[in-house]
Amino acid sequence: MKIARLLAAILFIGAGSLHFLKPGIYLAIMPPYIPWHPAMVYISGVFEILCGVGLLIPQTQRVAAWGLVALLIAVFPANLYMATDMHSIPAALRWGRLPVQLLLIWWVLWCSKQSVA
């Protein structure tokens, strides 16, 4: 469980960092109906980093996990937009990302199950 939690933390800290290092990747998959694309990319990156770090702290693991669940749900429209409208990306990657969101939700909740309340 500790190794899975550490790996999840590294994944989300790394992904959150990419929002700042390569924002164009995330801007490209933003649905047109969502306002303030750059701000949304940076805000979601901050929360990914904060929640990733929170997974490493026993007292905040559960809250961080639920924060990541909320974030994964919040970014689902971007993943759905990518799957349906971004035909320059191979279909397997576009559509495969959708069930990965469910797997990530399960993973962070499972990782935090044994955390300090």
**Model confidence over 54-103: pLDDT tens digits?**
999 999 999 999 999 999 999 999 989 988 987 788 888 889 889 999 99
117 in a domain, yes or no? Answer: no
Number of domains in the chain: 1
69 in a domain, yes or no? Answer: yes
CB 19 within 8 A of CB 48: yes
54 in a domain, yes or no? Answer: yes
Residue 56's domain comprises: 2-112
Q: What is the pTM of this model?
A: 0.89
Using a 10 angstrom Cβ sphere, with 0-12 exposed, 13-18 middle and 19 or more buried, the burial of residue 47 is: buried
Helix (H) or strand (E) holding 30: none
pLDDT score recorded for residue 116: 45
